[in-house]
Chains A and B, each alone.
Chain A
Amino acid sequence: MIRPLQRLAGSATRRTVQSSSLRRLYATGAQTLPKSTSPIVSKLDFFNTVTGNGTTIPTYRVLDGAGQPLEGAELPEIDEAFARRLYEHMQLLPTLDNVLYNIQRQGKISFYYGEEATIIGSAAALENDDEVLGQYREMGVLLWRGFGLDKIMGQCFGNKEDTSGKGRQMPVHFGSPSHHFHTISSPLGTQIPQAAGVGYALRRDPNRRSKSIATCYFGEGAASEGDFHAGMMLASTIPSPTLYIARNNGFAISTPSSEQYYGDGIAARGPGYGIDTIRVDGNDVLAVINAVREARRRCLTQGRAVLVEAMSYRVGHHSTSDDSFAYRPRSEVEDRKRIDNPILRFRYFMESQGWWNAEAEDELKARLKADVMKAFKRSENLKRWELGELFTDVYGGEEPWNITEQRQELAGLLKKYGNAWEPWRKELAKFSDGGESLMKRA
């Protein structure tokens, strides 16, 4: 393997070799091995922690459970308007969650995932044109960037207003180039090495170099995929300004994190890849803002990956296909909601600043619910994209013969059975063109 000389030189200065502390050298004159800056020692010493003194990595926090700043904590510079915006977006997520969850229970949309309030803090700490590659609990980033409730609903219903994917993907698989949010896909972890490539592309783009970063979200379960290993390694080895945000909420569906890893969470892995790492209280929005702002700054100045592990607790079920009380006690969830509720904690802080009160709370909740219901009602009655879109966008450029022929085959079937058979007629009526444009081509 050929390694560039400057990299060797760089690592040598970064990790100072304290040869004076070495009592004996393995061989005279040879203080390190080739391709390594590791000092030679004669004492047999295994280790199993990255902190050096056997403790676990600490969790950074600025507000206590009652919304009061911890001693010595530095709050991010935020004014009342910004704080209100943070709070409103944090409240919007559970409101949306509840509505969509109930819709799902009625069978109106097919699938929905919960959400973590961590997202709003990180979204607020990023620039709006930083590229985001998410897993599927990051709808809050899109809302923060002004994606709008209609498009959220449109995607979940798969109707004509689904600009994320023309109704082709399952609900909550959002995407929008103008909001710099890459379309979500179900396979876990695949976005992690992709984010390294996006980061490298930003570094190579003269208009965005040193201005934008790639940000990649994933859960602690996804971090067990091989793609996590690949992504961390790529973004650090091929220097790419990529911020990795691990949402450690304690569960991957039913699997508790104790069955996901035996080490000190995800943060402990960062130093192994040689990347700056921090663990933050994911239920403390101000701590998340501080941590992500600093992480972003490091990404830009060092041009390499940075890792933030945000610790939280998944209070919702994994998805609507999941009943989490089958594997954890209801009381545990209720306790967490009460003791360590990220929204409540920030509300206490707002109230202590004189920025919030019960009246504002009631008004906000009523307004958000009305907004969400309005978007939902509107979306519910919208038709789907044209049926012909089933066959577009498979390829760019010239369409291959098999796609063309299969479109014609469906068109022929529709012409024959579309009106004659009730189940097909009912289904066709859901498309904005009733399948007309497709049948014309038969």
Chain B
Amino acid sequence: MPSTSPTASIARTRTLLSSWASSRPSSRTTSVQCLTQRRCNSTSVEPPPAGGHLPGVATSQLLKTTRDAALRIPGLKWVDELDSSVLGGRETRKMNTYQAIRDAMAIALAKDNTAVVFGEDVAFGGVFRCTMGLAEEFGRERVFNTPLTEQGIAGFGIGLAAMGQTAIAEIQFADYIFPAFDQLVNEAAKIRYRSGGTFNCGGLTIRTPTMAVGHGGLYHSQSPEAFFMGASGLKVVIPRSPAQAKGLLLGSIRDPNPVIFMEPKILYRSAVEQVPVDDYELPLGKAEILIPGSDVTLLTWGTPVYHCETALHMLNSPSPQIEPFVPASLRGAKVELIDLRSILPWDMETVVESVKRTGRLVIVHEAGMTAGAGGEIAAEVQKRCFLKLKAPVRRVTGWDSLRWACNMRSSIFRTRSGFWMLWSRRWHTRSYAFQPNRTLNTYL
């Protein structure tokens, strides 16, 4: 039975810790130590900072710090054949996310004369700098401001795309995409189908900054991806890093379907990595396994990818303050971290394959829980993995309320703490305790 008193809980954890050390010096311990060493920045003997050494976006191991790593992104497809006379092959450059997005649009504009970029305030470079210099480089006929009307921007883009041209529209914040909901769901998503394939607006890409930024309040923080998840005919894509953003955006612009491309705005400046300078695409509708594992599948997208990385670190190497709450039996858990990347259509095969191996699934997203994308995925996974599931599918999400109080960075707090609660409280109970070899029948 779960312990209800903190003292009892601490005592129990200590017992577990000591028994762990004496009875299971297995390969798992080694892997935990490796992870600990890899993820901690400091090996000094000084006491760690109050919050512990936590990997954040700035120090994430998931970002590509070398040219070699950047050139070997899974699924990367070069668009041009490399000229064999070029010495040294493909090059990379250090970019943050907005620079990578700007780079992708510059390539799209340079190679496709029908491509135009438009939206509110894009001509001077955009409020997030994603279109810096594009108007100067390609002219005001191709990179221009629109009046302040989201339904107009979406409709205008549909019209351009219906004529076979490439429309790259920007909605300034995903929170303000709702005035365009009718144009996107009733029109863009359905034009090909309703016209029997004679018309389409596949050339349309809607870029929009999304997710929490720490102080965005109600209308600069939202994650509306699930609202579009039922709009068959649209694609919804969310990158996690600069190299992902460039490859997925170029893939979205050239995809024969209208795509809503949501850019996690907190990553615009904070995520920095090596990005291939050439023209390349990453596949839509494909998830990416970031950390392989065999005990739990952890599925997420966008900013929470980094929160999950932090949570994994906390699990494997808890700071002294929380150490009593982390059962030793959980610390060696081999968690498989998956970045979904495409919300619609989502990569069912990769997720299901993973859950069949691990038997457990935790879905993490910033949007609220009720009718969030996690619910759809959980339902599909339980249908397909029923006999393989060793525990209920868990969703760690924003609350169904005011999710982002000003200046509290509460979404990060929420996701971290929520994820943390999941390990420490829910999985701590005996019925779902971490026992890799248990089958579903044990719990029934």
A residues at B contact (CB < 8 Å): 1-2, 4, 131, 133, 162-166, 168-169, 173, 175-177, 182-183, 185, 187, 190, 192-202, 204-205, 214, 226-227, 229-231, 233-234, 237-238, 389, 392-398, 400-403
Contacts and interface: CB of A to CB of B under 8 A. Distances in A.
Interface string B313-334: 0000000000000000000000
A182 B162 contact: yes
Interface in B334-372: 345, 348-349
Contacts of B232: 394-395, 403
Contacts of B300: none
Interface of B: 114, 116, 118, 121, 123-124, 140-141, 144-147, 149, 151-152, 154-165, 167, 179, 182-183, 186-187, 190-200, 202, 232-233, 235, 255-257, 285, 345, 348-349
Contact of A163 (B118, B157, B196, B349): B196
A198 B198 contact: no
B196 A194 contact: no
A205 B147 contact: no
Given A163-B196, A401-B349, A187 B114 contact: no
Contact of A2 (B145, B149, B190, B198): B145
Given A164-B195, A393-B197, A230 B285 contact: no
Contacts of B191: 183, 185
Contacts of A396: 192, 200, 202, 256-257
Given A397-B255, A397-B256, A400-B285, A165 B151 contact: no
A163 B194 contact: no
A389 B179 CA distance: 32
Given A237-B146, A397-B257, A196 B193 contact: no
Contacts, number: 172
23 contacts: A163-B198, A169-B194, A175-B199, A177-B198, A192-B155, A193-B152, A194-B158, A196-B155, A196-B156, A197-B156, A198-B160, A200-B156, A214-B159, A229-B149, A230-B155, A233-B152, A234-B146, A237-B147, A238-B144, A238-B146, A394-B233, A395-B232, A396-B192
Nearest to A226: B151
A328 B198 CA distance: 40
B182 A187 contact: yes
Contact of B151 (A185, A230, A395): A230
B198 A183 contact: yes
Contacts of B145: 1-2
A197 B348 contact: no
B52 to A, nearest CB: 41
A195 B157 CA distance: 10
A150 to B, nearest CB: 16
A401 B348 contact: yes
Contacts of A185: 186-187, 190-191, 194
Contact of A234 (B140, B149, B193, B194): B149
Nearest to B160: A197
Contacts of A389: 196
B345 A394 contact: no
A351 B190 CA distance: 48
Given A182-B162, A401-B348, A197 B167 contact: yes
A403 B257 CA distance: 15
Contacts of A194: 155-156, 158-159, 162, 183, 187
Nearest to B156: A197
A213 to B, nearest CB: 13
Given A185-B190, A198-B162, A397-B255, A168 B155 contact: no
A201 B140 CA distance: 15
A234 B156 contact: yes
Q: Return the 10 tightest CB-CB contacts between A and B, nearest first.
A: A197-B159, A193-B155, A230-B152, A396-B256, A400-B345, A201-B163, A166-B196, A194-B159, A183-B195, A197-B156
A395 B194 contact: no
Contacts of B157: 197
Nearest to A183: B195
A393 B162 CA distance: 15
Contacts of A2: 123-124, 145
A367 B300 CA distance: 67
Contacts of A163: 196, 198
A205 B187 CA distance: 23
